Amino acid sequence: MSDFMMSQVQGLLAKVGDDLDKMNKTNNAQTDMLLGAINDLAANLFATQAILCVSLKDHPVDAKKVKEWIASQTGNASEAPKAQAVVDQLLATAKK
């Protein structure tokens, strides 16, 4: 391979390396932003659960009615098993 071709290959490899470095930096920035958003969402959800649990101590609700409401909104209770489980969790926590 001629010196000219070798320098062309080296130049292209350097460009690929630079592009990979830029992609890595962009990916890291996007990951940090996503993790920050998830952290904010988790904090909001935790605060909302705390408010609900404290409120439920003074104003208890019927778990069956809440689950029926979930079923009416989804069209089928089996479509929202996690929501059904959270109802049980929140009401159990509120009783403590």
Q: 3-state class of 71 per DSSP?
A: helix
Distances (CA, A) of 46 to 40, 65, 91: 10, 23, 15
Residues 87, 66 contacting (CB under 8 angstroms):
yes
58-87 pLDDT, tens digit per residue, is 999 999 999 999 989 888 767 788 999 999
Closest among 49, 53, 73 to 61, alpha carbons compared: 53
The number of residues making up the chain comes to 96
Q: What is the pLDDT of residue 2?
A: 82
Q: What is the pTM of this model?
A: 0.62
16-44 pLDDT, tens digit per residue, is 999 999 999 999 999 999 999 999 999 99
